Copies of this chain bind each other. A is one copy, B any other.
Amino acid sequence: MMTEWERLQEMPDSEYLMRTVLPVLYQGMSIVDLERPSAPLEFLALYLLKNQDQVKLPPKAVSSRVQE
């Protein structure tokens, strides 16, 4: 049986990116666009690091059949 993590690795490109980076990336880009900081890429990178916990990913090595 496939774990959630393995399923994530098999997703098509757009679905994978939507699941892992795009929600926080969109927020970050709209703030960069609004604030127009002096170092836009650095600003965006720090925003991603600061907000990465907003995206919940399945655990990597643990089986999804924990309940059994």
Residues of B within 8 A of A40 (CB): 20-21, 55, 57
- Copies of this chain present: 2
Q: Which residues 1-51 in A have Cβ within 8 Å of B in the complex?
A: 8-9, 13, 16-17, 20-21, 24-25, 29, 32-33, 36, 38-42, 44-46, 48-49, 51
- For this complex, into which size category does the number of interface residues on chain A fall? 20 to 34
Q: Are the C-beta atoms of A48 and B44 separated by less than 8 Å?
A: yes
By CB atoms of chain B within 10 A, which of A39, A42, A48, A60 has the most? A48
Q: Is the pair A36, B48 in contact by a Cβ cutoff of 8 Å?
A: no
The answer to whether A32 touches B17, judged by C-beta atoms less than 8 angstroms apart, is yes
Write the nearest CB–CB distance from A12 to chain B, whole angstroms: 10
